[in-house]
Amino acid sequence: MNGLKLPKLEQPAAGLIDQNCQQFLVELVRKFRPQLHNLLVNRQQRQQQIDAGALPDFAPETASIRDSDWQVATLPKDLTKRRLEITGPVDRKMVINALNANVDCYMADFEDSQSPTWEGVLQGQINLFDANTGQMTYTDPVSNKHYQLQENPALLIARVRGLHLPEKHVMLDGDVVPGSLFDFALYFYLNYQQRVSRGTGVYYYLPKLEHSSEAQWWADVFTFTEDYFQQPRGTIRATVLIETLPAVFQMDEILYAMREHIVALNCGRWDYIFSYIKTLKNHPDRVLPDRQVVTMNQPFLNAYSRLLVKTCHKRGALAMGGMAAFIPSKDPAENATILAKVKADKELERDNGHDGTWIAHPGLADTVREVFVAGLQGDNQLHILREADAPITAADLLQPSLGERTEAGMRTNIRVALQYIAAWISGKGCVPIYGLMEDAATAEISRTSIWQWIKHGKTLDNGEVVTKELFRNYLEQEAQVVRGEVGDERWAGENFPKATQLLEQITTADELVAFLTLPGYDLIQ
Ligand X SMILES: CC(=O)SCCNC(=O)CCNC(=O)[C@H](O)C(C)(C)COP(=O)(O)OP(=O)(O)OC[C@H]1O[C@@H](n2cnc3c(N)ncnc32)[C@H](O)[C@@H]1OP(=O)(O)O
HSE (side-chain half, CA atoms, 13 Å) at 63: 3
Q: How far is the CB of 205 from ligand X (least distance, A)?
A: 10
**Cβ contact 257:212 at 8 Å:** yes
CA distances from 503 to 287, 417, 442 (A): 20, 7, 14
- Contact string 110-139 vs Mg ion (x = CB under 5 A): --x---------------------------
Per CB under 6 A, the segment of 29-37, 263-271, 448-456, 512-520 that binds ligand O=CC(=O)O is 263-271
**Cβ distance 505 to 441 under 8 Å?**
no
In our burial notation (b when 16+ CB lie closer than 10 A, e otherwise), range 82-99 reads bbbbbbbbbbbebbbbbb
Site map 91..130 versus ligand X, x via CB under 6 A? --xx--xx----------x--xx-----------------
Residue 85 interacts with ligand O=CC(=O)O (CB under 6 A): yes or no: no
Q: x-or-dash pattern for Mg ion, window 256-285, by CB under 5 A?
A: ------------x--x--------------
Does residue 410 interact with ligand O=CC(=O)O by CB under 6 A? no
| Candidate list 72, 98, 149, 241; residue touching ligand O=CC(=O)O; CB under 6 A | 241
∠ CA(306), CA(307), CA(311), 5° rounding? Answer: 120
**How buried is 514 (Cβ within 10 angstroms: 0-12 exposed, 13-18 middle, 19+ buried)?**
middle
Which sequence positions are flagged as catalytic? 159, 439
Residue 139 CB, shortest distance to ligand X, in Å, is 11
Q: How far is CA 143 from CA 139, 146, 147, 295, 453, in A?
A: 8, 9, 11, 38, 45
Q: What minimum distance in Å lies between the beta carbon of 234 and Mg ion? A: 26
Q: Measured between alpha carbons, how far apart are the two ends of the chain, in Å?
A: 24
Q: Which amino acid is at 507?
A: T
By CB under 6 A, tell whether 271 contacts ligand O=CC(=O)O.
Answer: yes
Segment 349 to 388, residues that bind Mg ion, using CB under 5 A: none
Q: Does 85 bind ligand X (CB under 6 A)?
A: no
Asked if 298 contacts 401 with a C-beta cutoff of 8 angstroms, the reply is: yes
CA–CA gap between residue 383 and residue 365 (Å, rounded): 25
Where does this chain touch ligand X (CB under 6 A) — which range of 84-92, 277-285, 290-298, 385-393? 84-92
Q: Is there binding between residue 349 and ligand O=CC(=O)O (CB under 6 A)? A: no
Tell me whether residue 88 or residue 268 sits nearer to Mg ion (CB atom).
268
| Count of residues touching ligand X (by CB under 6 A) | 23
Per CB under 6 A, 269 contacts ligand O=CC(=O)O: yes
From candidates 323, 417, 460, 516, binder to ligand X by CB under 6 A: 323
Tell me phi and psi for residue 89, to 5 degrees.
-65, 165
The CA–CA distances, whole Å, from 37 to 57, 122, 167 equal 24, 25, 14
Q: What pairing do the DSSP bridges indicate for beta strands 431-433 and 436-438?
A: antiparallel
Instruction: Kindly state whether residue 112 participates in binding ligand O=CC(=O)O, applying the rule CB under 6 A.
Output: yes
Q: Which listed range, 11-19, 109-117, 144-152, 155-163, lies at the site for Mg ion (CB under 5 A)?
A: 109-117
Among 13, 39, 75, 88, indicate the residue that binds ligand X (CB under 6 A).
Answer: 88
Q: Does 315 bind ligand O=CC(=O)O (CB under 6 A)?
A: no
Residue 195, C-beta contacts closer than 8 angstroms, at least 6 positions apart = 132, 201, 202
**How many Å apart are CA 247 and CA 56, to the nearest integer?**
10
Q: For residue 88, state whether it binds ligand O=CC(=O)O (rule: CB under 6 A).
A: no
Burial class of residue 330, CB neighbours in 10 A (0-12, 13-18, 19+): exposed
> Which candidate, 286, 291, 289, 284, places its Cα nearest to that of 455?
284
In the list 322, 328, 353, 520, the residue contacting ligand O=CC(=O)O (rule: CB under 6 A) is 322
Min. distance of Cβ 1 from ligand X in angstroms? 35
- What distance in Å separates the CA atoms of residue 248 and residue 250, rounded to the nearest whole number? 5
Q: For binding to ligand O=CC(=O)O (CB under 6 A), which residues are involved? A: 112, 241, 243, 268-271, 322-323, 441
Q: Which residues bind Mg ion (CB under 5 A)?
A: 112, 243, 268, 271, 441
- Which positions touch ligand X (CB under 6 A)? 86-89, 93-94, 97-98, 109, 112-113, 270, 323, 327, 360-362, 430-432, 437, 439, 441
